[in-house]
Amino acid sequence: MNMKRLLAIIIPMFVVLFIGMGVILYLILNQSSPANGAQRDDRSDLKKEVVVFHDDQTFITNLKDSDSYLKADISIEVESEKDAEVLNKNLHKVRDRIISILRDISEDDMKRSDIQEILKNRIKQDLQETLKIDTIIGIYFNELVVQ
């Protein structure tokens, strides 16, 4: 009789213990998941290498149909050192394409509030097409001056 009473106490304790461990394990595993049931993007867990390519020479060109000049210092962010080497090996093409894009801007264009974003998008798209790479993360202006 004592054995039955002992089992009646021990078995519910183990059931409660296992349920509690299951709940704790569930909470720990789901703590690293995004809130609101959003799906996790496993690619975000991988740290991407980011390299900033910068030509030491600034870009100076005249504006379209104008006597004014545009001076720009640009950095290009790519995904790896290999991609930066592609930019460096093709520096002549990079500079030519950027100068062509900047020369096509008028004084009125420069007055637009979104001109920097427009230029960034044009430069990025053009370089990706010209160099046949799709690893450009961003284009950044360190300096953009009209004189």
Return the residue matching tokens 């210092």: 73
pLDDT in the model for residue 17 = 83
C-alpha span between 90 and 24 (Å, rounded) = 56
Residue 85, CB-side half-sphere exposure with 13 Å CA sphere: 3
C-alpha span between 144 and 109 (Å, rounded) = 13
What's the predicted TM-score (pTM) here? 0.65
Backbone angle region of 139, left / alpha / beta, with phi > 0 → left and psi within -120 to 50 → alpha: beta
**Kind plus residue range of the DSSP H or E element containing 78:** strand 69-78
Non-local (6+) Cβ contacts of 134 within 8 A are: 128
Terminal CA-CA length for the chain: 100
Neighbours of 143 (CB within 10 A): 10
C-alpha span between 128 and 45 (Å, rounded) = 26
- Which domains does the chain carry? 2-45 (no CATH), 51-146 (3.30.479.30)
For residue 115, give the nearest of 63, 67, 50, 66 by alpha carbon.
Answer: 63
pLDDT in the model for residue 117 = 94
pLDDT in the model for residue 11 = 83
For residue 66, give the nearest of 96, 98, 95, 109 by alpha carbon.
Answer: 109
The tens-digit pLDDT sequence of the chain (147 residues) is 677 777 778 888 888 888 888 888 888 887 655 554 444 444 444 566 788 998 889 999 999 999 999 999 999 999 988 889 999 999 999 999 999 999 999 999 999 899 999 999 999 999 999 999 888 999 999 999 998
